[in-house]
Amino acid sequence: LKIKEAEFIISAVKPEQYPVDNLPEVAMAGRSNVGKSSMINKLCNRRHLARTSSTPGKTQTLNFYQINKAYYIVDLPGYGYASVSKTLRAGWGPMMENYLRNRPQLRGVIQLVDIRHPPSKDDIAMYEWLTHFQIATAVIATKSDKISRGQHGKHVKVIRQTLNVPKEVPILTFSSETGEGKEDVLDLLGYLWGT
Task: Report the interface residues with ligand GDP, using CB under 6 A.
Answer: 30, 32-38, 52-53, 78, 142-143, 145-146, 175-177
Q: How far apart are CA 76 and CA 60, in angstroms?
A: 8
The sign of the dihedral angle between the CA atoms of 17, 23, 29, 35 is negative
What does DSSP assign to residue 80?
-
Residue 30 beta carbon to ligand GDP: minimum distance, rounded to whole angstroms: 6
Nearer to ligand GDP, 80 or 108 (CB): 80
Contacts of 20 (CB under 8 A, 6+ apart): none
* Count of CB atoms situated within 10 Å of the CB of 190: 15
Residue 53 beta carbon to ligand GDP: minimum distance, rounded to whole angstroms: 4
Coil vs helix vs strand at 45: coil
Q: How far apart are CA 88 and CA 194, in angstroms?
A: 33
Contact yes or no for 77/122 (Cβ under 8 A): no
Nearer to ligand GDP, 33 or 162 (CB): 33
Nearer to ligand GDP, 115 or 125 (CB): 115
Residue 54 beta carbon to ligand GDP: minimum distance, rounded to whole angstroms: 7
Contact yes or no for 68/4 (Cβ under 8 A): yes
